[in-house]
Amino acid sequence: MKTIIISDLHNRVDWVEPFLSSISYDRVVFLGDYFDDFNDTEKDIKKSANWLKQSLQNSNRIHLMGTHDMWYRFLFNRYLQASGNTPKKSEIINKILSKEDWDLLKFYYFEQNFLLTHAGLHSSFVKDSTDIISSLKLLIDKAIIEIEDGEIDPILDAGIARGGINPFGGITWLDWHDEFEIVPNLNQIVGHTELRTPIEKSTINSKNYSIDTKNRHIGIIEKNVFSV
């Protein structure tokens, strides 16, 4: 099984299909942040939304939710608005993406012994290290209910390093430099924090990689081993 990992696109979608058509793989996982960039135009926004709508229909692709995507999905929750989000962009995006499209995006995904999220899971959210999948599902289910009620849950909120009030960010906000901590017996792959080159933080029982380099690099998981 060969899985391609593509981090934050921020409207840089033109290269994706030509690239994927030129290589062999079994699955692609996108780590979120499909929208928002400096000086983006209406044409850029429409192109990204149309690409995402089509990409969501591919059965061998997993699309995760990023910081810059949340408010466009849950528009009436003021706590989710990120820099670059605007009502005009939301109007354009949501004329193209339906609720059914948005529902196809996931908040996390496990692939070959790695947890993939937009920004990373902090150790403070791990109460039961023997069943992280079930624990994370319960946290996200609870958080979505709160979001739809106009509230916010720490698992999807910003931490102090990104302007929030929580000690650490949630899985769409965790800052790699200042907030990410190694969780024993858990391997993670994240985007979100822009880097010049991918960075690894690992111990003997936990391998962790951050790969948001403005798409200068992609990740590959093959036979439970990660490479860039």
In the chain, where the domains are located: 2-227
- CATH code of the domain made up of 2-227: 3.60.21.10
Provide the CB-side half-sphere exposure for 174 (13 A, CA): 25
Phi-psi region of 215 (alpha: psi -120 to 50; beta: other; left: phi over 0): left
Q: What proportion of the chain, given as a percentage, has pLDDT over 70?
A: 99
What are 91's two structure tokens?
A: 């109007």
State yes or no: pLDDT of 128 exceeds 90.
no
pLDDT-based confidence at residue 227 (cuts at 50, 70, 90) = very high
State yes or no: pLDDT of 130 exceeds 80.
no
Q: Output DSSP code: residue 107.
A: S
Write down the pLDDT at residue 131. Answer: 76
